[in-house]
Structure 1
Amino acid sequence: MRGSVLVMAKAPVPGRAKTRLAATVGPEAAADLAAAALLDTLEAGAAAYPTGRRVLALSGDLADAARAAELRAAAAGWLVVPQSGQGFAERLVDGHRQAHRLAGGPVVQVGMDTPQAHAAHLRGVAELAHDAGSPLLGPAVDGGWWVLVTTHPSQASVLAGVPMSQPDTGRLTAAALQAAGHDVLEGPLLRDVDHVEDADDVAAAAPRTRFARRWRELAPAHREAGTTADTSD
C-alpha cells in the first residue's frame, strides 16, 4: 500500500453546505446530506489507508455541523488540519503540501461530493500515479475533477492559477499540469453531487451509502413538491 489520502472538506453547516440542493430540500436537509457524504468519504479513506496516512483539511467548525458527533468520531483517526489560503485553489495547494509533509505521497485528494468513491478507487489511483511517477486527474461529469493524485507537492502548485468550479476546470487543470511538464494520467470518471439529478444518480450507483439512504428518505418529498409546483403554473 502506497501513499495517503487527503480529504478537503467544509463543515456541513446549515445554510453553508450544498446550497444548490438546499433550494430543493431546505438548508437543514442539505447539510445533513453533506454530512452523510462526508462520512461516506471518511469511511472510504479509512478503509484505504491506515492511521497516519489520512489527512482531513477542514474549513469551518464541526461543532456547528449536522451530525457533529458522528463526524467528530469519524475524524478521530485522521490528522485534522485547517485549510489555509485566500481561495479554494490556494487551499488545495496548501492541502497537498501539508499531506505530503504529514503523511507522504502519492497524495490522493478528494472532496466531499463523491460519496460513491470507495476504497478501491482511492488505492487504485494511487498505484497508477506511483507506478508512472506522474500526477493523476479523475474527471467529473460536470467538467471539473473529483480526484487529484500528486506524487510530489510541487505538482499541486499549478492549481493556484486555475479557476475552480467552472465547466472547464478539469480541462484547465490538466492543461496547467501539462504546461508544467507533467504527463497527466486520467482516472475514472465520477459524478459530483451538486444538483438533484446528481443526487439521484449517485444514490442509485451507491445505494448502501449513508448519502443514498438519506436521499431516499428525502426524495419523495422533493418530488411531490416539484409536482405541486409544476401543476400550479
Structure 2
Amino acid sequence: MTTLVVIAKECLPGRVKTRLHPALTYEQAAELAAASLDDTLAVALALPANRRILAFDGVIPPPAAADFEIVPQISGTLDERLSAIFDSLSDSVLLIGMDTPQLTADLLDPVFTEWDDSTDAWFGAAHDGGFWALALGKPTPGLQRGHLIRGVPMSRPDTGDRQLARLRNAGLRVRHLPLLTDVDTIEDADAVARVAPHSRFAATFLAMRLEEPDIE
C-alpha cells in the first residue's frame, strides 16, 4: 500500500517560478506553474496509489486536486516540511514535486509494480542537482523517516547527492527513477515543453510564446 503525495504551493504571481521573470511576467509564470501542477496531479490520479494527498502551501487548492486529500504544509524550511510529511504517514510514501510536467505514469510505474523486499527507497534526481521524487518504505523500529531528510540542505547543486548519501548511509537500498529537468528557468521551460508537447504545460507555454515572440 503506497500513499502518493504531491507537494505544491499556491500558484500566485510573484510567489512561484519567479526565475522565469523577466522572460515571462509574474502573472505568466504563475499560470505556467499552475499548468505544471495540473499535469502532475493528472499523473498522480493515473497511478494505483491507495491514498492521494496534496501537501499544500496556500489557501485555495487548484480544481484539479478535487480528488486529493488537502493537507497543509507545516511552516519551516523545505527539509523540515518534507520530513513532517513522511513522519505523519504510516504507509510507504512516494513524494513528488510540481516542477516536472513531463512526468508520466509510466516513469513512476516501477514504484508500484517493482517495489519488493530488496528495495527500501526510490530516488528521482533532477538535472539541477536536486531531486523530483523520493519514495520510502514503511517506518521501521529505530528509524524515523523524517530523520532521513531533516537537515539536508535544499535548493543547492549538491542537494540530490547529499540526500542520496543520507539514504545510503542509513543502510537503505535505493533504486533510481529517471533523471528529469525541473522547470526553473526559461530554458528549462522550453526544453520541457519540447519533451512533453501534449501537456497542459506545453500548450500554455506555446501560447505565451505566440503572444510574446521575443521570449528568449
Q: Report the TM-score when normalising by structure 2.
A: 0.91
Q: Is this contact kept in 1: 2:87–2:145, CA < 8 A? A: no
Q: Which amino acid aligns with 1:59?
A: D
Query: 5 Å matches for 1:139-218?
Result: 139-153=125-139, 154-218=144-208
**Secondary structure in 2 aligned to 1:81?**
strand
Percent identity reads 41
What's 1:94 paired with? 84
Aligned-partner Cα distance in 1 for 2:79–2:34: 22
2:57 is the alignment partner of 1:59: yes
**Secondary structure in 1 aligned to 2:21?**
helix
Aligned-partner Cα distance in 2 for 1:150–1:130: 12
Q: Is this contact kept in 2: 1:8–1:95, CA < 8 A? A: no
Query: 5 Å matches for 1:6-155?
Result: 6-49=5-48, 53-62=51-60, 71-72=62-63, 74-98=64-88, 100-101=89-90, 104-105=91-92, 107-153=93-139, 154-155=144-145
Report runs of 4+ in structure 1 exceeding 6 Å deviation. Answer: none
Q: Is this contact kept in 2: 1:135–1:155, CA < 8 A? A: no
Q: Is this contact kept in 2: 1:140–1:189, CA < 8 A? A: yes
Q: Is this contact kept in 2: 1:130–1:151, CA < 8 A? A: no
**Secondary structure in 1 aligned to 2:145?**
helix
CA RMSD of aligned residues (A): 1.8
Deviation at 1:222, TM superposition (A): 4.8
Q: Which amino acid aligns with 1:25?
A: L
**Secondary structure in 2 aligned to 1:208?**
coil
Deviation at 1:118, TM superposition (A): 1.3
Q: Is this contact kept in 1: 2:6–2:53, CA < 8 A? A: yes
Q: Which amino acid aligns with 1:136?
A: W
Structure 2: 5+ residue stretches without partners = none
Q: How many residues align?
A: 212
Aligned-partner Cα distance in 2 for 1:196–1:131: 41
**Secondary structure in 2 aligned to 1:25?**
coil
Q: Is this contact kept in 2: 1:138–1:188, CA < 8 A? A: yes
Aligned-partner Cα distance in 2 for 1:76–1:217: 26
Aligned-partner Cα distance in 2 for 1:95–1:127: 23
Aligned-partner Cα distance in 2 for 1:80–1:199: 27
Q: Report the TM-score when normalising by structure 1.
A: 0.84
Q: Which has the higher helix share?
A: 1
Q: Which has the higher strand share?
A: 2
Aligned-partner Cα distance in 1 for 2:80–2:178: 25
**Secondary structure in 1 aligned to 2:46?**
helix
